[in-house]
Structure 1
């Protein structure tokens, strides 16, 4: 079994041709890109792949080219993700837990792990397994067995980076309500250091969105309503129409469980919105969620 360098899409490979392609597409000279970083003659050798830049120099060059490392690797791979990159991308951008899609994503992770040793991909495979088991059996204790090792590994870290926060965002539902709320709150707190970093915005939203469900699941409906008061305007601002529909329905459920029968109007509003935007699969999942709270 190999280590996780899966194909020529990595900073382990000479970046010269890709740097030249990006520089020329922007109309920049070698002198402009190299100025204040390295000698122009050295940069010229890097583009010809006669020299390899130190990682710190390469990161500074990419910054000069207005290019993130992620975008650079994507271009280096002929505008495609690496095998691992594709697995991470699918995991991060997964919208909801459709069984067939989960089976497909789990298979991709398993195939990768037959070739490469990779802790994060193993965690992702375990998370998919737990989601599939829970969807099939609704046995949360059985599903938790698959993600307990993931949590045991991450819990020990003093600080979480974005990768760890993405992972915990997908496993906290398998723990007791109080534990899940603690995990979510800790993740949101850890994200504060990423304020201003664009990639953290979606994750911050997802954590707050999922926290509403955790409040509901622990019968803390007033806390859920309070969280939704902030989340609904933010969801409108982001134009997340599918998630806005879910927020409306969850508001309705929380109102009803708090003794306000007018919450039924909010549930209808959410379901009707999913009809309009033709999110039929999400509508069925939402109806199942509503039934789990309101018998």
Structure 2
């Protein structure tokens, strides 16, 4: 159901005992304010944020109130999916998937596809695969089309891609990564842009390594190295150094680079259980690169 923001603002204003003159003076005219509160007009984002500032209220709180003092279904679902995913709670993911069997909106279609892919990932995680896991094409297409239908990404799309990019075939993943990095140029002055960019590099270059895309690794090497120098998230820097040591090992066959990578792997195991998943992924990547060198595979 579409929410009438003007009427919600009116209710909040009256509850606070504010006059229209106090709330809207210098923002919109009296006539516009009256029509806005009647639901006859929308308001520009800039002016609406000015109104919220005068109400001393953040947008998140306003949306919470506008939705009947509860989180929107989309936010609630995404939070539940994130919690269940982090805990490896496949049963909760299955229950959520059943809930979306009867939903028909575009957002529900995307959520259902995400759940299908997450459940498949957990079902396959205990198996030893020589080749990458194969995901259901229809579900992957839903996620791909969702991202490609948005011409200008916001933080929501960046987060969605970071959390779901591994489902795509490598070529699609490479193209979307390039697109994401270009879109991030609009966010150069945004406080968390370095963190977002470092996550993009970490995810992509690890995948590029597994796909023997040596050119992409080399092309992004300097950018990846620079962006992780100042990030507050230390593990991105760890993965940066790890990946490039393995890249240099494959390129030169120099065992010193392999030893450096194995030292990082060992350190992650020593850091405790929170780092064991990352350490195991490092072990698999090291094994992969050793096989590449042993087979004498060369860069194209």
Instruction: Look up the match of 1:72.
Output: 62
1:177 matched to 2:177? The reply is no
Mark the runs of 5 or more structure 1 residues left unpaired by the alignment.
Answer: none
Q: Select the structure of larger CA radius of gyration.
A: 2
CA positional deviation for 1:123: 1.6
1:38 aligns with 2:28: yes
Q: Which residue of 1 aligns with 2:208?
A: 215
SS of 2:151's equivalent?
A: coil
Q: Which ranges in structure 2 are unaligned for 5 or more consecutive residues?
A: 291-300
Name the counterpart of 2:113. 126
Q: 1:165 touches 1:187 (CA, 8 Å); kept in 2?
A: yes
Q: Output aligned runs, 1:143-292, within 5 Å.
A: 143-151=135-143, 153-154=145-146, 157=149, 159-162=151-154, 163-196=156-189, 203-221=196-214, 223-224=216-217, 227-258=220-251, 259-263=253-257, 264-269=259-264, 271-272=266-267, 275-276=270-271, 279-291=274-286
TM-score, length basis structure 2: 0.67
Compute the displacement of 1:143 (Å). Answer: 0.8
**Distance in 1 of aligned mates of 2:228 and 2:22:** 42
Which whole-Å deviations, capped at 9, do the CAs of 1:157-191 have from their partners, x for residues lacking one? 37243355544445543444333212221232244
CA distance, structure 1, for counterparts of residue 160 and residue 186 of structure 2: 18
For 1:8-19, what aligned pairs fall within 5 Å after superposition?
Answer: 11=5, 14-18=8-12
How many angstroms does 1:239 deviate by?
Answer: 0.9
d(CA) in 2 for partners of 1:13 and 1:274?
Answer: 56
The Cα of 1:57 is off from its aligned counterpart by 5.4
- CA shift, 1:31, in A, is 4.2
Distance 1:14 1:52 in 2: 10
- 8 A Cα contact 2:268 2:279, kept in partner: no
| Post-superposition offset of 1:118 | 2.8
Note the C-alpha offset of 1:34.
0.8
Aligned residue for 1:84?
74
Q: TM-score, normalised by structure 1?
A: 0.68
Structure 1 vs Structure 2 CA RMSD: 4.4
Aligned counterpart in structure 2 of residue 54 of structure 1, from 15, 33, 41:
41
Q: Which has the higher contact order (CA 8 A, sep 6+)?
A: 1
Is the counterpart of residue 104 in structure 1 residue 76 in structure 2?
no
